[in-house]
Structure 1
């Protein structure tokens, strides 16, 4: 799951830099050097104004700061957008080199998006999950970029504004969507442990004087109290006319444009996904007929092809790990995948970049079963985390439902998607890219699309060529396709929960627990679920075009590594670069 900017800014926006940026137009010879300097200035000012996002990206100059999300900070953001648009207008984009042209377009899109969110979407009013400060606090505790005592003192300073932060959040929230309120409560209750428990445990490992430690723990108590008061506020808020979590088609199309940065529109992608689903069903039916005698003997096949496919999938899904061994099973799978990638020469891997499988942090909320948390581009040697929800403590039938969904076949595909050669590998490459802008303001569709593309690439290279694995991959791939169909239908066509669950369990063959989890996810996100199929489709189309262009010189490894060298840039911009389209 990609990070999103909160841009909770203070009023001193580019106080000195703006005057430098208004010296008049540049000639062509000056353009590229000046633009590189502008990028550095832009980012430095941005980090000062949005310190928590900076911390999570590995930039630690402003770790001790926490901006209060008030009206003044939003006014500052609108001013920031205006000033930076004026600054960008000084550069003739066609006079910039390829790398700078991409960066220009990414900055421009981000500024347009932030202005739209503040002036049109206004989700800070109806989405209480907007106010979740724990990611930066957890990063300060967990990442070893500085001595622990220094990190804890920054943590202490940052906590000073938490009471004001939560009081302001209460003022801003108006008629929130109940689904976001529930998510916010879940996130706050999970995040409190970062301050109440983890901070105290870390203090015990230092030689910070006892009197100073007491000051720190006293402040932590006040911070926890303010978080709990915010939870109580959310639990008791009077909300006679709650806002719907559904965006509606106009907002959805706009958000899709900014977030996907796609070659397609939202409706166009939806239409393609519907057709792709039909083709996958045909391919799955063919494989299921082949496998039916192996698992059912002479038992008559159901007349409905979807029921026949479901019967084979259900039988294969009975082979799975246990709740207690889920994490260790994933850990054992990763070196197997790395060895396959090396043997088939699909990519160059960097074993020096650490990857740790861990229980998903509580402050995430359980909107997704698994995710990857990479180090920021400023912390190139930091640790990547493969986050997985814990099934321990769940009702046995719900845990079994999850385990059947992530059975012995699909758990391997999950590891391909999240880790090797999926998110973990792609994000390592992104952090090596020379452009910080491409890593920071990139496209979620590129990131998710690469992971989906990687699944198919591994199978095409011969990873477990059994028809069972192929059928399960089709089911998994169908998830990406149906994500797009579901998201568009829910937010634009008012698809009801019972219809969504039926669609996911019957047409996408998902287990009940997975379908219930996906409903929760689509009700607290929008557009993000489009990124899987959108990115996959664009990457496959690009690979095919690049293969035609290169002819006999084409090598899959060369395509993969060249593609990944562009950081997290949108696929449509990478396509222009790789195919030399101006």
Structure 2
């Protein structure tokens, strides 16, 4: 899994498939494997009904799994049984598509076993336990009548008290950071039951008796959720576990979660080199822009200070707290028009994108995110969640707005929406392989979003009036933004495996990545409650960009950017190393 499968092996497979006798064997294996995948997916949803609901598969909406030892035994049994089933298939006799599915299924199963036996986050991460999001998704859905959804919610709520009792029993020596996050997010999610559910019941056509039963159970649920949050707040834990994962666990989690062709150490080294390259490019632009923004003021001798002063001046151009979400909404059609004009990729106009205030149960980790419908609910809304600044001190809000200034906010929208996450996830749901949709690779997904930022500017997005090239200000802010992905990798790896202190992290983020203090503080909190996910941006971006440049070199004048984008996304949310194999194989 750590090394890219060679083109020589791909050629051998093609030679094998070219034999009529072998072709028949491949077709037979594929037919059998397709049948196995259907069986696997059904078993997956029985084991993880909450995951099923999030993907648009609603057969088990009424089921809330109690996270106790029995459910973990069931997960283990499912994983072990299916690993044995996979061994019955000869990889060489499967199609490209099914070979990738095989690898992704195997990775998921091994990751589940590792999570239970070695990582054991169910013991030290209290924020793992939160029921609010799934119930909110059911309330916001349009896949069934409101009345049927409410009946399933009623049945599902029955296990909420037992769910949180099991959570309390599981927790042993939790981290301080995850304990605080668990309390905060669960209290934030109470509104789903106290307000959203109450409003939905009032709008429904259920009879008075059903309404009364649902509301009574909702009150019981609120009591259980609040009790768990209060239990966390009062938890006596004199020697808490460190939030740092440690080198051994971290390397294994990187292997399972990222599925890169590189080891984590190799990606870390690439990130350090890329940071240096970005600083050199930024220094040149900042030097050129100095007279425009700083007049005759003396230039600092320190290059990083020079860059920082120009960035700080440009960052003063930003929206207001009250207009933050509205500004984002206005920029979406501008991005769509640009992509159509440049013919960069097809954007399906029938797939709705809804910009909304970030729900409270999601708060505290990321300031902007995408919630896309699953492969079973392809026509559902995709939500662009935007963090709010209500109640923030004026200084904190100003710092945040300077971070997401006029230029950076556009790059954020490229990343989160168009042609980033929103576009990629629409294509993913159209993939012929449901495995690639439900087991989507985070590094490919995040890497695509980061790749599109650079791609848009390369094609002239952000140009001044009368120019076909992105402005120096846009490029400077893009490089600053790209430093974020690069430093995400450096930060996450250093914090979890090298004991990086908060002081050193602030130096990296503020002094070397030019982030505002509020943004840097938020990133420190994020790295203290997540592991490895921050690596996905830089790793995926690097692999996608390198693949594009490799194909451009091999194809010469035959290379077409739009075809590359649509071909790349057509494989679904598979690890980039497997997409690379298939695209090079197709080219050959």
TM-score, normalising length: structure 1? 0.95
Map 1:88-167 → 2, pairs under 5 A = 88-167=86-165
Map 1:255-294 → 2, pairs under 5 A = 255-294=253-292
Give the equivalent residue in structure 1 for 2:467: none
Map 1:33-44 → 2, pairs under 5 A = 33-44=31-42
**Aligned to 1:479, which of 484, 489, 501?**
484
- 1:225–1:301 Cα change, 3 Å: same
Give the equivalent residue in structure 2 for 1:555: 560
The offset of 1:28, in angstroms, is 4.8
Give the equivalent residue in structure 1 for 2:496: 491
Q: Does 1:440 align with 2:438?
A: yes
The offset of 1:29, in angstroms, is 4.7
The offset of 1:135, in angstroms, is 1.9
Contact 1:313/1:472 (<8 A) preserved: yes
- 1:545–1:185 Cα change, 3 Å: same
CA distance in 2 between partners of 1:472 and 1:331 (Å): 21
Give the equivalent residue in structure 2 for 1:384: 382
The offset of 1:27, in angstroms, is 6.0
Consecutive unaligned residues of structure 1, counting only runs of 5 or more, are 1-25
Which string of whole-angstrom CA distances, capped at 9 and with x for unpartnered residues, describes residues 183-240 of structure 1?
1111101111111211010001012111211111111111110111111110111112
Contact 1:159/1:223 (<8 A) preserved: yes
Give the equivalent residue in structure 2 for 1:220: 218
Secondary structure of the equivalent of 2:585?
coil
Contact 2:47/2:75 (<8 A) preserved: no
Give the equivalent residue in structure 2 for 1:19: none
Secondary structure of the equivalent of 1:385?
strand
**Aligned to 2:529, which of 518, 524, 529?**
524
CA distance in 2 between partners of 1:446 and 1:363 (Å): 26
Contact 2:317/2:406 (<8 A) preserved: yes
Map 1:71-470 → 2, pairs under 5 A = 71-464=69-462, 465-470=470-475
Contact 2:492/2:535 (<8 A) preserved: yes
Map 1:567-578 → 2, pairs under 5 A = 567-578=572-583
**Aligned to 1:536, which of 532, 538, 541?**
541
CA distance in 1 between partners of 2:456 and 2:401 (Å): 23
CA distance in 1 between partners of 2:277 and 2:25 (Å): 53
Which string of whole-angstrom CA distances, capped at 9 and with x for unpartnered residues, describes residues 276-305 of structure 1?
000100100000000001111111100100
Secondary structure of the equivalent of 2:406?
coil
Contact 1:56/1:135 (<8 A) preserved: no
CA distance in 1 between partners of 2:43 and 2:77 (Å): 13
CA distance in 1 between partners of 2:37 and 2:27 (Å): 17
Backbone CA RMSD of aligned residues: 1.1
Larger displacement relative to structure 2 (188-197 or 286-295): 188-197
Contact 1:125/1:175 (<8 A) preserved: yes
The offset of 1:365, in angstroms, is 2.4
- 1:433–1:29 Cα change, 3 Å: closer
Contact 2:66/2:159 (<8 A) preserved: yes
Contact 2:480/2:514 (<8 A) preserved: yes
CA distance in 1 between partners of 2:90 and 2:102 (Å): 10
Secondary structure of the equivalent of 1:356?
strand
Contact 1:129/1:180 (<8 A) preserved: yes
Secondary structure of the equivalent of 1:420?
coil
Contact 2:26/2:95 (<8 A) preserved: no
Contact 2:363/2:387 (<8 A) preserved: no
The offset of 1:158, in angstroms, is 0.3
The offset of 1:548, in angstroms, is 2.3
CA distance in 2 between partners of 1:511 and 1:116 (Å): 37
Contact 1:183/1:365 (<8 A) preserved: no
Contact 1:247/1:526 (<8 A) preserved: yes
Give the equivalent residue in structure 1 for 2:510: 505
CA distance in 1 between partners of 2:426 and 2:205 (Å): 35
The offset of 1:551, in angstroms, is 2.4
Which string of whole-angstrom CA distances, capped at 9 and with x for unpartnered residues, describes residues 123-175 of structure 1?
00000011112221111100111010110111111000000000010000001
Give the equivalent residue in structure 1 for 2:21: none
CA distance in 2 between partners of 1:87 and 1:195 (Å): 42
Secondary structure of the equivalent of 2:383?
strand
The offset of 1:537, in angstroms, is 0.4
CA distance in 2 between partners of 1:124 and 1:447 (Å): 26
Contact 2:47/2:74 (<8 A) preserved: no
TM-score, normalising length: structure 2? 0.94
CA distance in 2 between partners of 1:367 and 1:123 (Å): 17
Contact 1:366/1:389 (<8 A) preserved: no
Consecutive unaligned residues of structure 2, counting only runs of 5 or more, are 1-23, 463-469
Point out 4+ residue stretches in structure 1 off by more than 4 angstroms: 26-29
Give the equivalent residue in structure 2 for 1:23: none
Q: Say how many residue pairs are matched.
A: 557
The offset of 1:333, in angstroms, is 0.1
The offset of 1:91, in angstroms, is 0.4
